[in-house]
Amino acid sequence: MSEFGELASKFLRMLAMERGASEHTVRAYSREVRNFAEYLADEVKSGKIADVEHLHIRAYLAVLYERGLGKASAARALASIRSWFKWLAKEGAVKQNPALLVSTPKRPLHLPRVPSAEEVNRMLSSLEEAPRGEEEAGAWPERDRLIFELLYGCGIRNSELVGLDMRAIRWGDEAILVRGKGKKERLVPLGDEAAIAMRAYLPGRAERLTAARKGWLIQEGALIMNLQMRGSCRLTTRSVGRIVKAIAQSRGLPADVHPHTLRHAFGTHMLEEGADLRAIQEMLGHERLSTTQRYTQLSTKQVQDVYEKTHPRAL
């Protein structure tokens, strides 16, 4: 293995073990960093990481464009390369980070169309009205309603939803303990409707676990279960995506609705009602306020309305 490959492997091991990065994050970094390491092995004649310059990185991005990758993909690759070389500089393998001299490709902002509050409430109301025990097409109405209430009512990520265990429910605090990116934990308020959906779902969950002879999971296991009660019984992010898409379409929402759409709607609808942007940032688990600002889609008129309602100097 080349020096580039060895250093890439060490970086990825550190990412998984020391920083507590999620499996998805490690997999994404692994793809980008290993691909660049292979490129360097062919292009840097000395075979030394210390000889890598910013021109090598620019040339690599050009190769990505030639392969048909877009600016968003190139930006992801560059972000991974920057993180790798930041670590290499810290370890003393390179004197400085050459990736800092490469500008990030500007990419257009593509945010999903956010359903209106009326559209989301109408859909959630239809789930409340679903007959108890109805399981057509493999559905579990109480569970599926809870999925929507947690994604929209709490604004959590799909991965955070399926990662919830029973001990994450904090009834006394009227909140759930969510483990986000980098395994950072935050308490997210559990609204009245989400709490009602939770209480409606838990008895059926316990019954199914008992029938599957997995009663030990009732108090400690995953909150959101799969229908078949296989393995740990934890529902996957892919299954959540299918459930959300199928139910949203059956209720007349666009075909491009997915779990992240509901997270966008959570932030946007709260800001529309005048909620503090930093409070929304905390609930969404964003490190940077700028990320929260991109998530929330407000027209100039809506921003003006919030200003006029809340600022003491507004006329």
Q: Which residues on adjacent β-strands are paired with residue 187?
A: 177
Q: Residues 56, 205, 263, 264: which is the catalytic one?
A: 263
Residue 263 annotated in active site = yes
Q: Is the dihedral of CA 181, 182, 188, 194 positive or negative?
A: positive
Quick one: CA torsion of 243, 245, 250, 255, rounded to 10 degrees?
A: -170
DSSP 3-state of 191: coil
95 is catalytic: no
Helix (H, G, I), strand (E, B) or coil at 211: helix
Residue of 181, 214, 245, 251 marked active site: 181
Nearest CA to 272 out of 314, 310, 313, 305 is that of 305
> Does the annotation count 181 as an active-site position?
yes
CB neighbour burial string for 220-253, b if at least 16 within 10 angstroms, e if fewer:
ebbbbbbeeeeeebbbeeeebeebbbebbeebeb
Out of 34, 54, 122, 260, the active site residue is 260
Catalytic residue among 145, 157, 179, 208: 157
Q: Is 234 a catalytic residue?
A: no
Concerning whether 311 is annotated as a catalytic residue, the answer is: no
Q: How far apart are the first and last CA of the chain?
A: 68
Strand partners, 63: none
In single-letter form, the type of residue at position 187 comes to: L
Establish whether 90 is a catalytic residue.
no
Distance from C-alpha of 11 to C-alpha of 24, rounded to nearest angstrom: 16
Give catalytic residues, as residue numbers: 157, 181, 260, 263, 286, 295
